[in-house]
């Protein structure tokens, strides 16, 4: 069993049942989460006997770095190997003095968005909380070694976070808690393709981190055709969940909107988006699309993008335009699909 599946109390119980001092549990917990060691032998303030006892009963299943590729813009994609042989990807995205980690929460994805490279992998399994946390820990360390102030984490890599809810929440507890990295939840953004009931659950759980929704169209017919999840939770249900979320948490979510030529970038699409956003306070990130190998879609033409923005701004919407980073290494938005899994 992976020892990181145990709570502090579980470790205490294990120790007392094995005639060891309960206070050692705190030390072990610190090695596991704060120092993120890869083996019991590194737990240097424990006796050899205790380290052997842990070795006998538990595994650590650390994630290992399999490959790293650095883009010309400094963006670095890391392939992490999981203990059972699967690989997932995380990305370090530097900007001036700061750095953001984009991390994965599932190996593959069940949702099958038509524009997404991860979707082509199918679904293998969800990641454990420690596999998620370790990606963050590694990218944070790498960012600091390179002189960046590690500032943000986005759960926007491979997989749908809301379909791995418990492990996402547990990983965030460690990122924000005293036992882990002690970062502010305001520096974390969790993204969803729009699993409406889970957005309500986030609100009921009174989360303090930021929520992003991959919207990509405010017209049901179009969204159905590019995001099959819309057939299960359509725009009306999504809107209702967002109204609930905003009312309960008081925070303003973000819509992510990839602009794809001839698909969702017409003036009618922009007007539908503006209308849809009337129900709640929201920020809009318009993202330049990066076609991947064998892609059906293209990025929006410059003039279409400009007109789209003009319509939204004319309706007083808060719009950010994001140019994708790390395009030359397939680390840009929607491109994470470790070729080693193919
Ligand atoms: S965009 Fe996100 S939710 Fe959609 S298939 Fe890709 S990983 Fe899954």
pLDDT tens, residue by residue, 237-263 = 999 999 999 999 999 999 999 999 999
Residues 6+ positions from 23 with CB-CB distance below 8 Å:
none
Per-residue pLDDT, 26: 96
User: Contact, 135 vs 104, CB < 8 A?
Assistant: yes
Q: Which atom of ligand 1 is nearest to the CA of 227?
A: 4
Confidence of residue 342 (pLDDT cuts 50, 70, 90): very low
- The token pair at 138 is 């590694």
> Strands 318-322 and 149-155: what pairing?
unpaired
Confidence band (pLDDT; 50, 70, 90) for 331? low
Q: What is the pLDDT of residue 117?
A: 86
pLDDT of residue 330: 65
Predicted confidence (pLDDT) at residue 41 exceeds the cutoff of 80: yes
CATH architecture of 64-341: Alpha-Beta Barrel (3.20)
Compute the chain's Rg from CA coordinates. 21
CA dist 200 and 202 (Å) reads 5
Q: How far apart are CA 198 and CA 171, in angstroms?
A: 17
Per the structure block, which two tokens stand in for 47? 């006796």
Q: How far, in Å, CA of 297 to CA of 74, rounded?
A: 26
The verdict on the CB of residue 157 being under 6 Å from ligand 1 is no
Residue 52 has pLDDT above 60, yes or no: yes
Give the whole-angstrom CA distance, residue 114 versus residue 296. 8
What's the fold here for domain 3-57? DNA polymerase; domain 1 (1.10.150)
pLDDT at 340 over 50: no
Q: Is the pTM of this model over 0.75?
A: yes
Q: What end-to-end distance do the CA atoms of the chain give, in Å?
A: 28
In the chain, domain spans: 3-57, 64-341
Closest atom of ligand 1 relative to the 158 alpha carbon: 7
pLDDT number for residue 276? 98
Report whether residue 111 contacts ligand 1, using a CB cutoff of 6 Å.
yes
Over residues 198-202, mean pLDDT: 98
118 CB less than 6 Å from ligand 1? Answer: yes
What average pLDDT does the segment 33-47 reach?
96
Q: What is the mean pLDDT of the chain?
A: 93
Torsion of CA 209, 63, 180, 210, to 10 degrees: 0
Closest by alpha carbon to 100, among 152, 139, 62, 37?
152
């Amino acid at each position: 069993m992976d020892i990181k599946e145990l709570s502090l109390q579980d470790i205490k119980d294990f120790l007392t049942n094995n005639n060891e001092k309960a206070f050692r549990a705190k030390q072990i917990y610190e090695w596991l989460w704060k120092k993120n060691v890869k083996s019991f032998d590194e737990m240097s303030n424990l006796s050899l006997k205790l380290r052997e006892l842990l070795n006998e009963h538990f595994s650590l299943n650390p994630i290992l770095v399999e490959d790293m590729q650095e883009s010309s813009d400094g963006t670095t994609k890391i392939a992490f190997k999981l203990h059972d042989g699967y690989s997932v990807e995380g990305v370090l995205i530097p900007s001036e003095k700061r750095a953001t980690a984009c991390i994965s929460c599932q190996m593959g994805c069940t949702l099958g968005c038509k524009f997404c490279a991860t979707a082509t992998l199918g679904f293998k399994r969800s990641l454990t909380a420690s596999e998620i946390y370790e990606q963050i820990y590694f990218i944070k360390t790498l960012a600091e070694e390179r002189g960046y102030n590690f500032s943000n984490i986005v759960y926007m890599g491979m997989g749908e976070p809301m379909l791995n809810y418990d492990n996402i929440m547990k990983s965030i507890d460690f990122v924000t808690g005293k036992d882990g990295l002690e970062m502010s939840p305001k520096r974390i953004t969790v993204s969803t393709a729009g699993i409406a009931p889970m957005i309500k659950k986030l609100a009921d759980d009174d989360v303090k981190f930021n929520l992003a929704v991959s919207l990509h169209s405010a017209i049901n017919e179009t969204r159905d055709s590019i995001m099959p999840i819309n057939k299960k939770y359509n725009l009306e249900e999504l809107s209702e969940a967002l109204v609930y979320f905003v009312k309960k948490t008081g925070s303003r979510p973000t819509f992510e909107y990839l602009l794809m030529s001839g698909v969702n970038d017409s003036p009618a699409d922009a007007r539908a988006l503006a209308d849809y956003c009337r129900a709640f306070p929201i920020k809009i990130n318009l993202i330049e699309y990066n076609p991947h190998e064998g892609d059906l879609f293209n990025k929006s033409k410059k003039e279409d993008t400009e007109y789209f923005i003009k319509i939204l701004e004319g309706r007083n919407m808060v719009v950010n335009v994001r140019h994708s980073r790390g395009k030359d290494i397939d680390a840009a938005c929607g491109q994470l699909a470790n070729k080693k899994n193919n």
